A and B are shown apart, each in its own frame.
Chain A
Amino acid sequence: MSHFQNKQKSIQLKEDIIKYLLISAAGISVLTTFGILFSILFEAIDFFSLKSFTYFLTGNEWSPGTANSKFGASAIFAGTFMITFIAIAIALPIGVFSAIYMSEYASDKVRSTVKPLLEILAGIPTVVYGFFAAITVAPFIVSVCDSLGVSASYNSALAAGVVMGIMIIPVISSLSDDVISAVPDSLRKGSLALGMTQAETIKDIVLPSAMPGIISATLLGISKALGETMIVVMAAGMNANKFSINPLEDMTTVTVQIVAALTGDFEFDSPDTLSAFALGLVLFVVTLTLNIVSVMLIKKFKEKYKMSSL
């Protein structure tokens, strides 16, 4: 074997080693996903070996830390749903209409000034939103309701929901902006040439074409709202036994109860602590499903318009 071949071999070996290092780095993110799944799953299985699974999903008494503790999470799910609903009711119209203005009406100059501002809104830490909800928005809602003669809680679902809605606006608007801009211009021009007004073009041509993308943005927003922790920990209620459809009353969420269970003074192996993992499992499954559906919708949209930049 010549000297040249030897060198070639050592270079080849080095290349292979580096390649395997890179593959193992890529494996870490796979490991993380499964690490999250299994660490939650195993603890949740521990929990369900102690407490009933069906009662967890359907029961309505949540009493950790008591002698005969019960874990029925339906009131928690209802509160989570309510706060998420309020958040989306605020974020969806504002987000989508902002996106419409940005992509269809605004000049380049307006776009380039407004976009970074919306990015600031997206970059504000959630703990800051939580403080804003608890110190500014909640007392404001209480005083408005007082002057109307209605009683409102300082931990109302409305305050948490509204602020969460503000937090989600940039999520929905930036993704909607991307898909609306991606709708081919020929569609717009065709519609305008047929004598439609710009608003009619947007309503009847552009938005229906961009619909899969907008739905996907909404699903992403919902998943963000479900998993949001700090705003609800600081501004929503703790009572996991109360059913209500009045947004002015205090409600609790899955994430609040996870934090409550893990920051309490319980033994790690007690059902009181393990309940956090059961709630986490529900959260994981729901947000993952929403994300997968959202990715599929975007893929469909991309295939329809043969684009690869989204």
Chain B
Amino acid sequence: MANFTPIKKKEKNIFYDPNLSKRHAKAKIFKGIAISALIMSLLFLFIFLSDMVNKGVGAFKQTYIQVEVTYNAKTLKDTRQLIERKYRTLISRAWLRDIPRLVKENPELMNTTQVVWALADDQVDMYMKNQYYKIRPKHKATLLELIENNRVEKHFNTIFFTKGDSKIAENSGILSAMIGTILTLLVTMAVAFPIGVATAVYLEEFADPNSKLSSFIEININNLAAIPSILFGLLGLAIFINLFGMPRSSALVGGLTLALMTLPIIIVSSRAALRSVPASIRQAGYGLGLTKIQVVRDHVLPLAFPGVMTGSIIGLAQAMGETAPLIIVGMIAFIPDSPTSILDAATVMPAQIFTWAGMPEVAYIERTAAGILVLLSVLISFNAFAVYLRKKFEVKW
């Protein structure tokens, strides 16, 4: 289009359309609409991510106050007396509650007085982070005095990564939800991966593509992928919990429910990977006298494996972010201690985010957003790893 010589006199050109400039203007507008739609969807992503970072990044630091702690038999019995009366409302109740255990582990502390950094109450933390706070004027004066003397500091929030859920905002962390997620996903993968790959192998390598059975299975898988996730929760509740009597809220039930949801993703991507292995490989195998199983097991599957892995990782990432069916099977219980087996009551990261989002205290908002940041970074690195696998092992036949 670029290199034609225009006919200078428009009126002599019999092809000249007097509306041409109007049509070109319209074309420009159309293109403008298209690009602004794309920009808008990217803008949503940007606003969304920056909003989460903005809200959540504060939670990675937590306020600590330097106070004198007196350890003796009397104060250990009534932990509120461990510190001076005027500081009591500024220090976390949960932190004081943990002191007797600390002394038990370190008996040399007994009958001494130490200056330590104590975890601050969530209202103090909110004040330090310029959020909405509720502190009485009397206590605020004490706090301002402490700040004046550099006895208030923000440290890296280790509690967030080393503790489970808590009803006390400053003492709550994401560890038990993380372990719950790992247990649940282990169950999911242990079930969905072999079944999904086996189904794909059957449909691609063994089934007659024109038979009624295989088209029936195919339609089923298609429909399964489109069923709303919450209905899988109803299945889990009715079958796994009520019929089979598996423990409610457990990673086992949640993992099985998610496995059924992940199946279609693994099947579809594994089939695509199997299909991309050229027929010549199979024919060479048959030519050497291998049986069908030997060809599939020793030649086709290893070649398709990177594709199968990519699909499974993407499926895993999707299962990791799923919440609705897990709420239905009870995985939103309050779990302060990490589950130790797949039969224990557990919660998962998205469910933890959901419970925190419903908490009335302001301090939970930043913890929710921080939980979201952790979840998103895990998900994005999973997906990036899947893309890397695909790029690295991609074979052009």
Contact = CB atoms under 8 A, between A and B. Distances in A.
A292 B223 contact: yes
A258 B34 contact: no
Nearest to A19: B206
Interface in B253-304: 260, 263-264, 267, 291-293
Contacts of B175: none
B230 A258 contact: yes
A53 B30 CA distance: 49
A209 interface: no
Interface string B186-203: 000000001100110111
B220 A124 contact: no
A237 to B, nearest CB: 15
A58 B358 CA distance: 33
Contact of B238 (A43, A119, A169, A288): A43
A284 B231 contact: yes
A30 B220 contact: yes
Contact of A130 (B267, B332, B357): B357
Contact of A136 (B51, B202, B376): B51
Contact of A230 (B33, B35, B206, B323): B323
A123 B321 contact: yes
A22 interface: yes
Nearest to B48: A132
A196 to B, nearest CB: 9
Interface residues of B, number: 88
Contacts of A9: none
Contacts of B227: 33, 36, 227, 284, 287-288
B27 A197 contact: yes
A9 B242 CA distance: 45
Most buried by B among A42, A97, A104, A105: A97
Contacts of A27: 217
Nearest to B384: A116
Given A22-B201, A26-B203, A32-B263, A197 B230 contact: no
Interface in A174-207: 195, 197-200, 202-203
Specify the main secondary structure of chain B where it touches its partner: helix
Given A126-B321, A227-B228, A268 B51 contact: no
Contacts, number: 257
Contacts of A132: 48, 51-52
Contacts of B207: 26
Question: Size class of A's contact patch?
Answer: 35 or more
A288 B226 contact: yes
B237 interface: yes
A277 to B, nearest CB: 6
B52 A97 contact: no
A105 B31 CA distance: 8
A284 B216 CA distance: 19
A227 B228 CA distance: 5
A55 B77 CA distance: 62
B41 A280 contact: no
A144 interface: no
Interface in A227-286: 227-230, 233-234, 255, 258-259, 262-263, 268, 276-277, 280, 283-284
A258 B33 CA distance: 39
Interface in B195-247: 195, 198-199, 201-203, 206-207, 216-217, 220-224, 226-235, 237-239, 242
A284 B372 CA distance: 30
A141 interface: no
A131 interface: yes
A197 B224 contact: no
A93 B230 contact: no
Interface stretch (A10-18, A67-75, A81-89, A152-160): A10-18
Interface string A21-52: 11101111110110110011011000000000
Given A125-B379, A199-B30, A22 B206 contact: yes
Contacts of A233: 324, 327, 354
B365 interface: yes
A305 interface: no
A66 to B, nearest CB: 23
Contacts of A203: 30
B365 A36 contact: no
B26 to A, nearest CB: 6
Contact of B217 (A30, A116, A220): A30
A106 B37 CA distance: 13
A147 B16 CA distance: 53
Interface string B322-333: 111001100010
Contact of A200 (B27, B231, B260, B375): B27
A100 B216 CA distance: 34
A297 B45 CA distance: 31
Contact of A228 (B52, B221, B228): B228
A271 B227 CA distance: 24
Contacts of B220: 29-30, 33
B226 A220 contact: yes
21 contacts: A15-B291, A27-B217, A30-B220, A40-B234, A97-B38, A101-B31, A105-B31, A117-B45, A123-B317, A123-B380, A123-B383, A125-B321, A127-B351, A128-B52, A128-B375, A132-B51, A135-B357, A228-B228, A229-B229, A262-B234, A277-B234
Given A101-B35, A124-B376, 18 more contacts: A22-B198, A22-B206, A23-B206, A26-B207, A29-B263, A32-B235, A97-B36, A98-B38, A118-B41, A166-B48, A173-B41, A199-B26, A200-B23, A227-B228, A229-B229, A233-B324, A262-B237, A291-B226
Closest 5 A/B residue pairs (Cβ): A227-B228, A125-B321, A97-B37, A25-B198, A199-B27
